[in-house]
Amino acid sequence: MGILGLGYMGLATAAAFARHGVTTVGYDVLPDRRAAVRAGMSPFHEDGLEELLQTEVRSGRLTVAETMADVAERAAVIFLCLPTPPRDDGEIDLRPIEGGAAELGRALARVDGFRVVVVKSTVVPGTTETVVGPALLGASGKTGDQIAVASNPEFLAEGRMVEDALHPDRIVVGVSHPRAAELLRSLYAVFDSPLIVVTPAGAEMTKYASNSFLALKISFANELARFAEQVGVNVDDVVRGVGSDPRIGHRFLQAGPGFGGSCFSKDVQAFARAARDRGVRLSLVEQIMTVNDAQTRHAGDLIAGQLPEGKGTVALLGLAFKEGTDDLRESRALPIVERLAGAGIEVRAHDPVSSGKFATWLQGRPVDIRDRVRICAAAEETVTGADVAALQVPWPEYLSWPSAWTRAMRHPVLVDLRRAFSEDRAAAEHLRLVRLGDGRPGVGTVPPASSGSARQGAPDAGVPRPALRAARSEGTG
């Protein structure tokens, strides 16, 4: 089995197949990435991935090829795990995957035997058969009886990709060629997961529909959070009751500063655009990004609202879009930093794994933003002299908050955008805790909604802890 593209999704997929006993060969156009994976090192941070890589590389089940032609020669089933970045108008850019398919086709022209090329990248319905297939056949000079195409979307959540790749809750395969269907059934027989076989376009649409629905659940919870702040209740209490209905469920029903990551924003916009191109308006889907952006603005205003006269220094704790990953793509930290710094507020920022990527992003901002943001090497440095600390990612080191951090702050106020910090802990550390989504009386100072400031609050438990932990690691993209 072959993997083309060793990014987050491709690398997790390759390692999972290898762990299940499938001889796997991977390839990436980046030489440094090939070298890192060959040495058993992950090119990026993802919980548990490097340990899995080291084991599978040492076992010999996972190898890295130096050329695409080597993969074409060795693998009967080849997965395309190539990027599909968004364009400015929301449409996905198919050039990377179309170009990759054509390059693979040229390599397959010199190979005998039947091959199945599987699109694992997220693409709009119809892409596998109308774009990837023709690119492969045109470049290879072969027929559909020699090269078959299929769709097999991934359902991996960053921060827990290893678990999701090893133990998927379902496997969706879109295939129309009978021989290809049998090969894929045999390949996936090593996984103890339900296998759903549909058409290629059906599989492609399943991925978009799934991500859009999850983004919709998160967005609904975020709107509930803003309402809860205004009526004096804890949104966690509300979603605990709502999610207890088995038709709804707790997962992806936790409020926060908005979803981020590489998938949800891109997929929601592409899904809505693809439907419009066919004369269909997905009205609910089209509103998701509007709600998400409004929630992020609200989070920024909630932080700024704790500053004396709206001025001072904010310590932003957590820059990745969620815990367990160093991925900065669509992280809510980025627009929050721009909103705060753009309002003249000094921002000190820290993240245990993604500060380097944040520094690269910051270099592309206007000078007035850059000059008000400082990246700190340690969390204690970040909070020292700060007027407000804001918890954007609930990394364990932040939740273990030592008393010295409280003493180091100018004003001991913590705005918890994820509701991960307990009230008891805050009281013990002499912190005034303000939590997004809680307007209970007596918790912080809550200005009226008409003032333009966000309400404050400090919820504690709501959803049972195991469900809440799962939702925090999965529900943000």
Strands 171-175 and 346-350: unpaired
**Per-residue DSSP letters for 226-248?**
HHHHHHT-BHHHHHHHHHTSTTT
Return all residues near 87 (Cβ < 8 A) that are at least 6 apart: 93
User: Could you give the dihedral angle defined by the CA atoms of residues 48, 53, 55 and 56, in that order, rounded to the nearest 10 degrees?
Assistant: 130
Return all residues near 261 (Cβ < 8 A) that are at least 6 apart: 158, 321, 322, 327, 329, 330, 331, 476, 477
Distance between terminal CA atoms of the chain?
28
Residues in the chain: 477
Residue 164 CA, chain-centre distance (Å), reads 13
Catalytic positions: 263
Please name which of 75, 64, 59 lies closest in space to residue 21, comparing C-alpha atoms.
59
Q: Which two tokens stand for residue 303?
A: 């932080």
Distance CA 229, CA 305 (A): 14
**Per-residue DSSP letters for 28-96?**
-S-HHHHHHHHTT--SS-BTTHHHHHHHHHHHTSEEE-SSHHHHHHH-SEEEE----PBPTTS-B--HH
Element (H, E) at 8: helix 8-19
Residue 325 gets which letter from DSSP? B
